[in-house]
Amino acid sequence: MEFKAKEIAEILGGTVDGNPEAVVTAFARIESGKPGTICFFANPKYEHYVYKCKADIIIVNKTFEPKEPVSATLVRVDDAYAAVAALLDYVTSRKRSYKRYRGCRSKVAWSSRIGRKVYVGDFAYVGRRAVIGDYTRISEHVYIGDDVKIGSHCVIYPGVRIYPGMEIGNNVIIHANAVIGADGFGFAPLEDGTWKKIEHTGNVVIEDDVEIGANTCIDKSQMGSTVIRKGVKIDNLCQIAHNVEVGPNTVMAAHTGIAGSTKVGTHCIIAGQVGIAGHITIADNTTIGAQAGVLGAIKEEGKVWLGTPAIPYKDYLRSYAAFKKAGKQ
């Protein structure tokens, strides 16, 4: 990549404060910026790096007022964090080439429908009656079962397994070794102490603009669908059980596990190693702190929950203060 400050400002809808002809060829974190790189500043606790940084361009918020001289050219935007994400996406899209390719060691069923400029890597398998949308990339060693539907502009990384009958929307990214559509963990106890497997006849529906991390598992439903709504972002090593519904634009960090038939609201934030019990609902705009265990429904929107069992943030702080005090006695 090679951009001038004025070009970056035009792409991001910002303004230039400094040399509009400043040229950069790489990205860098603001802590380690050097000549020829571009950085961004959004978190106030990193402000001291702005004055030390040797990068040629720094993306900052329009409201930023330097307290010391800044050697770099500043590109001022409404939201620096969102702007750098947009710039990274722009650079990546320029590098991405779309061409139809089918690896000689891949197997694609004759009854499948493959869109324009779809990439199918070596040792990939595409089952009968599968539908793959335009410009989608199926990487090496991917398994796509019979009757799977995948939209356009998706990226399926190596080792992903998509079971028969699953439905995936447009602009979906599924990272390596994720499994979509395995049976849920459903067994009925019998009188002799053994367990009878409950067959799962449903599927998984993943809507548009979803990203799923490496080694994450999303189980198909017993009946109906396990649903991941539009814009959801799921980290690595997460477990989504059968019949779960995750609301639009919810994000969850690694090692989160959600038990069966739970409904998670829209715009929720679920931190790492959270465990959520089954058959409950989580209200919209809920934030759940790391390692929390949610055992019952969360009905009030916009609250922060911590601890196991999870309780509201302020209650948790009071309880923690009492625990510390008791420990010193």
**Domain annotation for the chain: domains and CATH numbers:** 3-95 (3.40.1390.10)
Q: Is 240 helix (H, G, I), strand (E, B) or coil?
A: strand
Distance of alpha carbon 95 from alpha carbon 14, whole angstroms: 23
CB 97 within 8 A of CB 115: no
Task: Compute, in degrees rounded to 10, the torsion defined by CA atoms 240, 222, 124, 148.
Answer: -110
pLDDT range class, residue 325, cuts 50, 70, 90 = confident
According to DSSP, the residues that pair with 102 across neighbouring strands are 120
The yes-or-no verdict on residue 169 having pLDDT over 90 is yes
Is 242 marked active-site? yes
Q: How confident is the model at residue 196, as a pLDDT? A: 95
Span 242-276, pLDDT tens digits: 999 999 999 999 999 999 999 999 999 999 999 99
Distance of alpha carbon 264 from alpha carbon 208, whole angstroms: 17
Least confident of 89-103, 215-229, 247-261: 89-103
Distance of alpha carbon 11 from alpha carbon 56, whole angstroms: 17
Catalytic residue among 141, 153, 175, 242: 242
Average pLDDT over the chain reads 95
Distance of alpha carbon 151 from alpha carbon 267, whole angstroms: 24
Cα dihedral sign, 189-190-192-196:
negative
**Hey, what are 81's tokens?**
């964090």
Span 11-63, pLDDT tens digits: 999 999 999 999 999 999 999 999 999 999 999 999 999 999 999 999 999 99
pLDDT range class, residue 81, cuts 50, 70, 90 = very high
pLDDT range class, residue 329, cuts 50, 70, 90 = low
What is the distance, to the nearest Å, from the Cα of residue 140 to the centroid of all Cα atoms in its chain? 21
- pLDDT average, residue stretch 311-324: 90
Q: How confident is the model at residue 327, as a pLDDT? A: 63
Compute φ and ψ for 8, nearest 5 degrees.
-65, -45
The yes-or-no verdict on residue 96 having pLDDT over 80 is no
**Percent of the chain at pLDDT exceeding 70:** 98
**Element (H or E) spanning 315, and its range?**
helix 313-327
